[in-house]
Chain A
Amino acid sequence: MTQTKTDTPKPTPTNTSKIPYYPGCTLKTTAKNFESSAIAAARALGIELMEIPRWNCCGTVFSLADDDLIHHVASVRNFVRVQEMNDYGLVKNENRLVTLCAMCFNTLKSTNLRVKNNAEDLKKINDLMYREEDYQGKVEVLHFLELLKSIGFDKITSRVKKPLKGLKIAPYYGCMILRPQEVGIDDPEDPTIQRDLLVALGADSVDTPYKRVCCGSYQTVKEKDIVAELAYDILSHAQKEGAEALATVCPLCAFNLDNRQKEVKSKHPDYQEMPVFYITQLMAIAFGLGKECYGFDQNYVDPRPLLQSKSLIEKQGS
Protein backbone atom coordinates (compact mmCIF):
# COMPACT_ATOMS: atom_id res chain seq x y z
CA MET A 1 0.00 0.00 0.00
CA THR A 2 1.32 3.43 -0.83
CA GLN A 3 0.82 6.70 0.96
CA THR A 4 1.34 9.75 -1.20
CA LYS A 5 1.15 12.45 1.47
CA THR A 6 4.23 12.38 3.61
CA ASP A 7 4.35 15.73 5.38
CA THR A 8 3.11 14.33 8.70
CA PRO A 9 4.18 11.13 10.41
CA LYS A 10 1.94 8.20 9.55
CA PRO A 11 1.61 4.76 11.03
CA THR A 12 2.56 1.90 8.77
CA PRO A 13 -0.74 0.72 7.33
CA THR A 14 -1.62 -2.71 8.62
CA ASN A 15 -4.71 -4.76 7.86
CA THR A 16 -6.92 -2.14 9.44
CA SER A 17 -5.77 1.41 10.02
CA LYS A 18 -7.78 3.63 12.31
CA ILE A 19 -8.24 7.23 11.22
CA PRO A 20 -10.07 10.01 13.13
CA TYR A 21 -13.29 10.80 11.31
CA TYR A 22 -15.34 13.99 11.62
CA PRO A 23 -19.02 13.45 10.62
CA GLY A 24 -20.69 16.85 11.04
CA CYS A 25 -24.39 17.47 11.67
CA THR A 26 -26.03 16.50 8.40
CA LEU A 27 -24.40 13.06 8.18
CA LYS A 28 -26.33 12.19 11.32
CA THR A 29 -29.69 13.23 9.87
CA THR A 30 -30.57 13.75 6.19
CA ALA A 31 -27.31 12.23 4.89
CA LYS A 32 -27.13 9.09 7.02
CA ASN A 33 -26.84 7.17 3.78
CA PHE A 34 -23.61 9.03 2.97
CA GLU A 35 -22.11 8.03 6.31
CA SER A 36 -23.28 4.40 6.38
CA SER A 37 -22.09 3.70 2.84
CA ALA A 38 -18.74 5.44 3.39
CA ILE A 39 -17.98 3.68 6.67
CA ALA A 40 -18.77 0.30 5.11
CA ALA A 41 -16.77 1.05 1.94
CA ALA A 42 -13.79 2.25 4.00
CA ARG A 43 -13.92 -0.90 6.13
CA ALA A 44 -13.85 -3.00 2.97
CA LEU A 45 -10.57 -1.22 2.15
CA GLY A 46 -9.13 -1.89 5.59
CA ILE A 47 -9.79 1.56 7.02
CA GLU A 48 -11.66 2.14 10.25
CA LEU A 49 -13.19 5.63 10.21
CA MET A 50 -13.17 6.33 13.93
CA GLU A 51 -15.69 8.96 14.92
CA ILE A 52 -14.03 11.71 16.94
CA PRO A 53 -15.36 11.60 20.51
CA ARG A 54 -17.22 14.76 21.56
CA TRP A 55 -16.94 16.37 18.13
CA ASN A 56 -18.82 19.65 17.72
CA CYS A 57 -20.23 21.66 14.81
CA CYS A 58 -17.47 23.04 12.55
CA GLY A 59 -19.49 26.18 11.84
CA THR A 60 -20.58 24.96 8.35
CA VAL A 61 -19.04 27.95 6.57
CA PHE A 62 -15.55 29.34 7.05
CA SER A 63 -15.77 32.87 8.36
CA LEU A 64 -14.31 35.11 5.63
CA ALA A 65 -14.05 38.33 7.62
CA ASP A 66 -10.40 38.96 8.43
CA ASP A 67 -10.97 40.17 11.99
CA ASP A 68 -13.28 37.33 12.98
CA LEU A 69 -11.47 34.75 15.09
CA ILE A 70 -14.30 33.63 17.34
CA HIS A 71 -16.00 31.64 14.58
CA HIS A 72 -12.85 29.54 14.09
CA VAL A 73 -12.88 28.26 17.66
CA ALA A 74 -15.43 25.53 16.89
CA SER A 75 -13.23 24.04 14.18
CA VAL A 76 -10.05 24.24 16.26
CA ARG A 77 -11.78 22.49 19.16
CA ASN A 78 -12.23 19.47 16.89
CA PHE A 79 -8.49 19.46 16.18
CA VAL A 80 -7.87 19.29 19.93
CA ARG A 81 -10.13 16.21 20.01
CA VAL A 82 -7.87 14.55 17.43
CA GLN A 83 -4.87 15.28 19.64
CA GLU A 84 -6.74 13.70 22.54
CA MET A 85 -7.47 10.58 20.49
CA ASN A 86 -3.72 10.19 20.12
CA ASP A 87 -3.11 10.98 23.81
CA TYR A 88 -5.63 8.35 24.93
CA GLY A 89 -4.37 5.76 22.46
CA LEU A 90 -7.58 5.56 20.40
CA VAL A 91 -5.38 6.07 17.37
CA LYS A 92 -1.64 5.74 17.12
CA ASN A 93 0.37 8.69 15.88
CA GLU A 94 -2.42 9.60 13.49
CA ASN A 95 -2.80 13.31 12.80
CA ARG A 96 -5.06 12.96 9.82
CA LEU A 97 -8.68 14.01 10.24
CA VAL A 98 -10.99 12.67 7.53
CA THR A 99 -14.30 14.28 6.56
CA LEU A 100 -17.02 13.17 4.18
CA CYS A 101 -19.10 16.35 4.07
CA ALA A 102 -17.58 18.81 1.60
CA MET A 103 -18.65 21.86 3.62
CA CYS A 104 -17.14 20.52 6.84
CA PHE A 105 -14.00 19.74 4.89
CA ASN A 106 -13.75 23.29 3.55
CA THR A 107 -14.44 24.91 6.92
CA LEU A 108 -12.04 22.69 8.87
CA LYS A 109 -9.24 22.89 6.32
CA SER A 110 -9.56 26.67 5.86
CA THR A 111 -9.44 27.17 9.63
CA ASN A 112 -6.47 24.84 9.93
CA LEU A 113 -4.58 26.79 7.26
CA ARG A 114 -5.34 30.09 8.95
CA VAL A 115 -4.06 29.03 12.36
CA LYS A 116 -1.11 27.07 10.98
CA ASN A 117 0.03 30.11 8.99
CA ASN A 118 -0.64 32.63 11.72
CA ALA A 119 0.90 31.92 15.12
CA GLU A 120 -0.76 34.98 16.67
CA ASP A 121 -4.25 33.80 15.66
CA LEU A 122 -3.52 30.33 17.03
CA LYS A 123 -2.35 31.76 20.34
CA LYS A 124 -5.46 33.92 20.69
CA ILE A 125 -7.72 30.95 19.97
CA ASN A 126 -5.79 28.71 22.36
CA ASP A 127 -6.04 31.39 25.07
CA LEU A 128 -9.76 31.59 24.47
CA MET A 129 -10.19 27.82 24.89
CA TYR A 130 -8.59 27.94 28.31
CA ARG A 131 -10.23 24.72 29.40
CA GLU A 132 -8.78 22.74 26.50
CA GLU A 133 -5.24 21.67 25.86
CA ASP A 134 -3.53 23.88 23.27
CA TYR A 135 -3.90 22.99 19.61
CA GLN A 136 -0.39 22.20 18.39
CA GLY A 137 -1.15 22.83 14.73
CA LYS A 138 -0.29 19.32 13.60
CA VAL A 139 -3.64 18.00 12.36
CA GLU A 140 -4.00 17.41 8.63
CA VAL A 141 -7.54 17.75 7.29
CA LEU A 142 -8.30 15.31 4.49
CA HIS A 143 -11.37 14.69 2.41
CA PHE A 144 -12.35 11.04 2.07
CA LEU A 145 -11.67 11.24 -1.68
CA GLU A 146 -8.05 12.23 -0.96
CA LEU A 147 -7.73 9.27 1.36
CA LEU A 148 -9.00 6.97 -1.41
CA LYS A 149 -6.53 8.50 -3.86
CA SER A 150 -3.68 7.90 -1.40
CA ILE A 151 -4.72 4.24 -1.14
CA GLY A 152 -4.62 4.04 -4.92
CA PHE A 153 -7.49 3.62 -7.35
CA ASP A 154 -5.90 0.38 -8.57
CA LYS A 155 -6.36 -1.08 -5.09
CA ILE A 156 -9.98 0.06 -5.15
CA THR A 157 -10.49 -1.70 -8.50
CA SER A 158 -9.05 -4.90 -7.03
CA ARG A 159 -11.72 -4.77 -4.29
CA VAL A 160 -14.62 -4.42 -6.78
CA LYS A 161 -16.88 -7.48 -6.85
CA LYS A 162 -19.70 -6.09 -8.94
CA PRO A 163 -18.37 -3.62 -11.54
CA LEU A 164 -20.83 -0.79 -12.26
CA LYS A 165 -20.85 -1.80 -15.90
CA GLY A 166 -22.93 0.34 -18.20
CA LEU A 167 -23.87 2.82 -15.46
CA LYS A 168 -23.39 6.34 -16.81
CA ILE A 169 -22.61 8.71 -13.96
CA ALA A 170 -21.74 12.41 -14.14
CA PRO A 171 -19.45 13.34 -11.24
CA TYR A 172 -20.51 16.64 -9.67
CA TYR A 173 -17.90 18.39 -7.55
CA GLY A 174 -19.56 21.62 -6.51
CA CYS A 175 -17.41 24.26 -4.81
CA MET A 176 -16.21 23.23 -1.41
CA ILE A 177 -13.71 20.50 -2.35
CA LEU A 178 -12.30 22.62 -5.20
CA ARG A 179 -12.13 26.23 -4.09
CA PRO A 180 -10.38 28.32 -2.92
CA GLN A 181 -7.30 26.79 -4.52
CA GLU A 182 -5.25 26.39 -1.33
CA VAL A 183 -8.10 24.36 0.16
CA GLY A 184 -9.16 22.41 -2.94
CA ILE A 185 -8.16 18.80 -3.48
CA ASP A 186 -8.10 18.94 -7.28
CA ASP A 187 -7.82 21.26 -10.29
CA PRO A 188 -10.51 23.91 -9.62
CA GLU A 189 -11.39 24.18 -13.32
CA ASP A 190 -11.06 20.57 -14.46
CA PRO A 191 -11.24 18.16 -11.52
CA THR A 192 -10.82 14.43 -12.16
CA ILE A 193 -10.71 12.70 -8.76
CA GLN A 194 -14.34 11.52 -8.82
CA ARG A 195 -14.02 10.46 -12.46
CA ASP A 196 -11.01 8.31 -11.53
CA LEU A 197 -12.95 6.72 -8.69
CA LEU A 198 -16.00 6.01 -10.88
CA VAL A 199 -13.79 4.44 -13.54
CA ALA A 200 -12.11 2.34 -10.83
CA LEU A 201 -15.58 1.09 -9.87
CA GLY A 202 -16.29 0.11 -13.47
CA ALA A 203 -18.80 2.88 -14.22
CA ASP A 204 -18.83 5.17 -17.26
CA SER A 205 -17.91 8.67 -16.11
CA VAL A 206 -19.75 11.40 -18.01
CA ASP A 207 -17.98 14.74 -18.26
CA THR A 208 -19.91 18.01 -18.15
CA PRO A 209 -18.68 21.60 -17.77
CA TYR A 210 -21.26 22.04 -15.01
CA LYS A 211 -19.37 19.63 -12.75
CA ARG A 212 -17.74 22.57 -10.93
CA VAL A 213 -20.57 25.13 -11.15
CA CYS A 214 -22.17 26.13 -7.85
CA CYS A 215 -25.59 24.63 -7.04
CA GLY A 216 -26.60 27.76 -5.12
CA SER A 217 -25.57 26.43 -1.72
CA TYR A 218 -27.34 28.06 1.26
CA GLN A 219 -29.41 30.25 -1.08
CA THR A 220 -31.77 27.27 -1.00
CA VAL A 221 -33.19 28.66 2.26
CA LYS A 222 -34.35 32.02 0.91
CA GLU A 223 -34.13 31.73 -2.87
CA LYS A 224 -35.14 28.22 -3.80
CA ASP A 225 -36.22 29.30 -7.28
CA ILE A 226 -32.68 30.43 -8.04
CA VAL A 227 -31.36 27.10 -6.77
CA ALA A 228 -33.91 25.20 -8.86
CA GLU A 229 -32.69 27.01 -11.99
CA LEU A 230 -29.06 26.21 -11.19
CA ALA A 231 -30.01 22.60 -10.47
CA TYR A 232 -31.87 22.43 -13.78
CA ASP A 233 -28.76 23.64 -15.65
CA ILE A 234 -26.50 21.15 -13.88
CA LEU A 235 -28.85 18.16 -14.20
CA SER A 236 -30.12 18.78 -17.72
CA HIS A 237 -26.59 19.30 -19.09
CA ALA A 238 -25.51 16.03 -17.52
CA GLN A 239 -28.50 14.35 -19.18
CA LYS A 240 -27.61 15.88 -22.55
CA GLU A 241 -24.18 14.29 -22.21
CA GLY A 242 -25.86 10.93 -21.60
CA ALA A 243 -25.67 10.69 -17.80
CA GLU A 244 -28.23 8.54 -16.00
CA ALA A 245 -27.37 9.84 -12.55
CA LEU A 246 -25.11 12.26 -10.68
CA ALA A 247 -22.51 11.52 -8.02
CA THR A 248 -21.57 13.98 -5.29
CA VAL A 249 -19.83 14.26 -1.90
CA CYS A 250 -21.71 17.24 -0.44
CA PRO A 251 -24.96 16.89 1.54
CA LEU A 252 -26.01 20.43 0.59
CA CYS A 253 -25.36 19.85 -3.12
CA ALA A 254 -27.24 16.58 -2.74
CA PHE A 255 -30.24 18.38 -1.25
CA ASN A 256 -30.20 21.10 -3.93
CA LEU A 257 -29.76 18.67 -6.81
CA ASP A 258 -31.88 15.77 -5.56
CA ASN A 259 -34.72 17.14 -3.40
CA ARG A 260 -35.04 20.38 -5.38
CA GLN A 261 -35.87 18.34 -8.49
CA LYS A 262 -39.42 18.74 -7.23
CA GLU A 263 -39.15 22.50 -7.91
CA VAL A 264 -37.21 21.86 -11.15
CA LYS A 265 -40.03 19.64 -12.37
CA SER A 266 -42.71 22.22 -11.60
CA LYS A 267 -40.76 24.93 -13.49
CA HIS A 268 -39.75 22.67 -16.36
CA PRO A 269 -42.51 20.08 -16.89
CA ASP A 270 -40.53 18.25 -19.60
CA TYR A 271 -37.67 17.57 -17.20
CA GLN A 272 -37.13 13.88 -16.41
CA GLU A 273 -36.06 13.15 -12.85
CA MET A 274 -32.62 11.66 -12.32
CA PRO A 275 -31.07 10.04 -9.22
CA VAL A 276 -28.28 11.74 -7.29
CA PHE A 277 -25.92 9.40 -5.48
CA TYR A 278 -23.33 9.92 -2.82
CA ILE A 279 -20.32 8.44 -4.55
CA THR A 280 -19.81 6.17 -1.53
CA GLN A 281 -23.19 4.52 -2.23
CA LEU A 282 -21.79 3.50 -5.60
CA MET A 283 -18.66 2.18 -3.89
CA ALA A 284 -20.78 0.07 -1.54
CA ILE A 285 -22.67 -1.48 -4.47
CA ALA A 286 -19.50 -2.14 -6.46
CA PHE A 287 -17.81 -3.70 -3.42
CA GLY A 288 -20.80 -6.03 -3.04
CA LEU A 289 -21.52 -4.83 0.51
CA GLY A 290 -24.75 -5.50 2.38
CA LYS A 291 -27.71 -3.47 1.21
CA GLU A 292 -28.35 -2.14 4.73
CA CYS A 293 -25.56 0.41 4.21
CA TYR A 294 -26.94 1.79 0.91
CA GLY A 295 -29.67 3.92 2.52
CA PHE A 296 -31.62 4.54 -0.69
CA ASP A 297 -34.70 5.45 1.37
CA GLN A 298 -33.04 8.82 1.99
CA ASN A 299 -32.47 9.59 -1.69
CA TYR A 300 -35.27 11.83 -2.96
CA VAL A 301 -35.29 10.41 -6.50
CA ASP A 302 -35.28 6.64 -6.00
CA PRO A 303 -32.13 5.23 -7.63
CA ARG A 304 -33.30 1.61 -7.32
CA PRO A 305 -35.10 1.32 -10.70
CA LEU A 306 -31.92 2.47 -12.48
CA LEU A 307 -29.74 0.04 -10.51
CA GLN A 308 -32.19 -2.80 -11.09
CA SER A 309 -32.20 -2.10 -14.83
CA LYS A 310 -28.42 -2.64 -14.79
CA SER A 311 -28.76 -5.76 -12.60
CA LEU A 312 -26.68 -4.08 -9.89
CA ILE A 313 -29.24 -4.70 -7.15
CA GLU A 314 -31.95 -7.31 -6.86
CA LYS A 315 -35.41 -6.50 -8.15
CA GLN A 316 -37.37 -6.62 -4.92
CA GLY A 317 -34.75 -5.78 -2.43
CA SER A 318 -32.98 -2.97 -0.75
Chain B
Amino acid sequence: MIKKVQITPENDKFLNKINELSGQVVTLCEQCGTCSGGCPLVSEMDITPSQWMRLAQLGLKEVLDFKAVWVCASCFTCTVRCPRKIDVSKVAEALRQIILRKAIDYIDLKAIPKEELACLPQIALVSACRKFTG
Protein backbone atom coordinates (compact mmCIF):
# COMPACT_ATOMS: atom_id res chain seq x y z
CA MET B 1 0.00 0.00 0.00
CA ILE B 2 1.44 3.34 -1.01
CA LYS B 3 0.77 6.27 1.24
CA LYS B 4 1.84 9.78 0.41
CA VAL B 5 3.21 11.69 3.38
CA GLN B 6 3.77 15.42 3.32
CA ILE B 7 6.52 16.37 5.78
CA THR B 8 5.79 19.70 7.39
CA PRO B 9 7.55 21.64 10.19
CA GLU B 10 4.93 20.08 12.49
CA ASN B 11 6.34 16.62 11.68
CA ASP B 12 9.87 17.80 12.44
CA LYS B 13 8.73 19.22 15.73
CA PHE B 14 7.11 15.92 16.72
CA LEU B 15 10.19 13.94 15.63
CA ASN B 16 12.43 16.24 17.69
CA LYS B 17 10.17 15.77 20.69
CA ILE B 18 10.53 11.98 20.46
CA ASN B 19 14.33 12.27 20.08
CA GLU B 20 14.52 14.64 23.02
CA LEU B 21 12.43 12.49 25.38
CA SER B 22 14.06 9.21 24.41
CA GLY B 23 17.61 10.49 24.10
CA GLN B 24 17.76 8.52 20.83
CA VAL B 25 18.08 9.49 17.18
CA VAL B 26 15.17 7.60 15.68
CA THR B 27 16.20 8.45 12.11
CA LEU B 28 19.15 6.08 12.56
CA CYS B 29 16.70 3.17 12.32
CA GLU B 30 17.18 1.29 9.03
CA GLN B 31 13.96 -0.72 9.34
CA CYS B 32 15.68 -4.11 9.54
CA GLY B 33 12.90 -5.51 11.73
CA THR B 34 15.13 -7.12 14.38
CA CYS B 35 13.17 -5.42 17.18
CA SER B 36 9.86 -6.74 15.87
CA GLY B 37 11.26 -10.23 15.27
CA GLY B 38 12.51 -10.60 18.84
CA CYS B 39 9.70 -8.83 20.70
CA PRO B 40 7.98 -11.30 23.05
CA LEU B 41 4.77 -9.27 22.97
CA VAL B 42 4.59 -8.41 19.26
CA SER B 43 1.76 -10.89 18.65
CA GLU B 44 -0.44 -8.81 20.95
CA MET B 45 0.42 -5.48 19.29
CA ASP B 46 -1.54 -3.62 16.60
CA ILE B 47 1.65 -2.29 15.01
CA THR B 48 5.15 -3.71 15.39
CA PRO B 49 8.09 -1.92 17.05
CA SER B 50 9.66 -1.30 13.61
CA GLN B 51 6.40 0.28 12.48
CA TRP B 52 6.32 2.70 15.41
CA MET B 53 9.97 3.50 14.67
CA ARG B 54 9.04 4.34 11.05
CA LEU B 55 6.06 6.46 12.04
CA ALA B 56 8.29 8.26 14.55
CA GLN B 57 10.95 8.91 11.90
CA LEU B 58 8.34 10.60 9.74
CA GLY B 59 7.04 12.58 12.68
CA LEU B 60 3.52 11.22 12.20
CA LYS B 61 1.35 11.82 15.24
CA GLU B 62 -0.91 8.90 14.31
CA VAL B 63 1.71 6.72 16.03
CA LEU B 64 0.02 7.78 19.28
CA ASP B 65 -3.27 6.18 18.21
CA PHE B 66 -1.92 2.62 18.42
CA LYS B 67 -1.95 0.38 21.46
CA ALA B 68 1.44 -1.22 20.75
CA VAL B 69 3.62 0.92 23.04
CA TRP B 70 1.23 0.18 25.91
CA VAL B 71 1.63 -3.56 25.36
CA CYS B 72 5.42 -3.16 25.49
CA ALA B 73 6.72 -4.49 28.82
CA SER B 74 10.07 -2.64 28.67
CA CYS B 75 11.94 -5.96 28.59
CA PHE B 76 14.83 -4.40 26.60
CA THR B 77 15.13 -7.34 24.19
CA CYS B 78 14.95 -4.91 21.23
CA THR B 79 17.44 -2.64 22.98
CA VAL B 80 20.16 -5.28 23.28
CA ARG B 81 19.60 -6.56 19.73
CA CYS B 82 19.30 -3.37 17.66
CA PRO B 83 22.19 -3.37 15.16
CA ARG B 84 21.98 0.44 15.05
CA LYS B 85 22.29 0.58 18.86
CA ILE B 86 18.98 2.42 19.21
CA ASP B 87 17.28 1.95 22.55
CA VAL B 88 13.84 1.12 21.17
CA SER B 89 12.45 0.72 24.72
CA LYS B 90 13.25 4.38 25.32
CA VAL B 91 11.43 5.38 22.13
CA ALA B 92 8.36 3.50 23.38
CA GLU B 93 8.70 5.32 26.70
CA ALA B 94 8.87 8.67 24.89
CA LEU B 95 5.64 7.89 23.03
CA ARG B 96 3.91 6.86 26.28
CA GLN B 97 5.18 9.97 28.04
CA ILE B 98 3.82 12.28 25.34
CA ILE B 99 0.34 10.98 26.22
CA LEU B 100 0.82 10.58 29.99
CA ARG B 101 2.11 14.15 30.31
CA LYS B 102 -1.25 15.36 29.06
CA ALA B 103 -2.70 13.73 32.18
CA ILE B 104 -4.25 10.91 30.16
CA ASP B 105 -3.77 7.65 32.07
CA TYR B 106 -3.71 4.25 30.40
CA ILE B 107 -5.06 2.34 33.37
CA ASP B 108 -7.93 3.07 35.68
CA LEU B 109 -7.01 1.70 39.07
CA LYS B 110 -10.65 1.72 40.13
CA ALA B 111 -11.44 -0.71 37.33
CA ILE B 112 -9.15 -3.41 38.74
CA PRO B 113 -11.33 -6.08 40.38
CA LYS B 114 -11.01 -6.23 44.17
CA GLU B 115 -9.91 -9.87 44.17
CA GLU B 116 -7.11 -8.99 41.73
CA LEU B 117 -6.00 -6.06 43.88
CA ALA B 118 -5.86 -8.39 46.86
CA CYS B 119 -3.50 -10.84 45.17
CA LEU B 120 -1.29 -8.52 43.07
CA PRO B 121 2.09 -7.85 44.72
CA GLN B 122 3.21 -4.23 45.20
CA ILE B 123 5.95 -4.72 42.64
CA ALA B 124 3.24 -5.20 39.98
CA LEU B 125 1.01 -2.34 41.10
CA VAL B 126 3.77 0.20 41.60
CA SER B 127 5.44 -0.58 38.28
CA ALA B 128 2.11 -0.49 36.43
CA CYS B 129 1.31 2.89 38.01
CA ARG B 130 4.77 4.19 37.08
CA LYS B 131 4.34 3.05 33.48
CA PHE B 132 0.66 3.70 32.88
CA THR B 133 -0.23 6.81 34.86
CA GLY B 134 1.09 10.35 34.58
Q: Which residues of A contact B (CB under 8 A)?
A: 24-26, 29-31, 57, 59-61, 63-68, 71, 101, 103, 175, 179-181, 188-189, 213-214, 216-224, 226, 230, 251-252, 255, 259
Contacts and interface: CB of A to CB of B under 8 A. Distances in A.
A65 B97 contact: yes
B71 A230 contact: no
A64 B74 contact: yes
Ranked 7 nearest A-B pairs via Cβ: A179-B76, A214-B75, A66-B23, A64-B93, A221-B128, A218-B127, A30-B121
B127 to A, nearest CB: 4
Interface string B89-113: 1100110010000000011000010
B21 interface: yes
A223 B71 contact: yes
Most chain B CB neighbours (cut-off 10 Å) among A26, A103, A217, A224: A217
B126 A60 contact: yes
B40 interface: yes
Nearest to A106: B76
Contact of B123 (A101, A224, A259): A101
Contact of A222 (B20, B75, B80, B107): B107
Interface of B: 20-23, 40-41, 44, 71, 73-77, 79-80, 87, 89-90, 93-94, 97, 106-107, 112, 116, 119-128, 130-132
Given A26-B122, A60-B123, A66 B20 contact: yes
B124 A218 contact: yes
B31 to A, nearest CB: 22
B68 to A, nearest CB: 13
Contact of A179 (B21, B77, B112, B130): B77
A251 B123 contact: yes
Given A179-B80, A222-B132, A259 B119 contact: yes
Contacts of A60: 123, 126-127, 130
Contact of B79 (A30, A31, A103, A180): A180
A28 to B, nearest CB: 9
Contact of A221 (B20, B22, B90, B112): B112
A187 to B, nearest CB: 10
A64 B128 contact: no
Most chain A CB atoms below 10 A, which of B77, B123, B124, B130? B123
B19 to A, nearest CB: 9
A68 B127 CA distance: 16
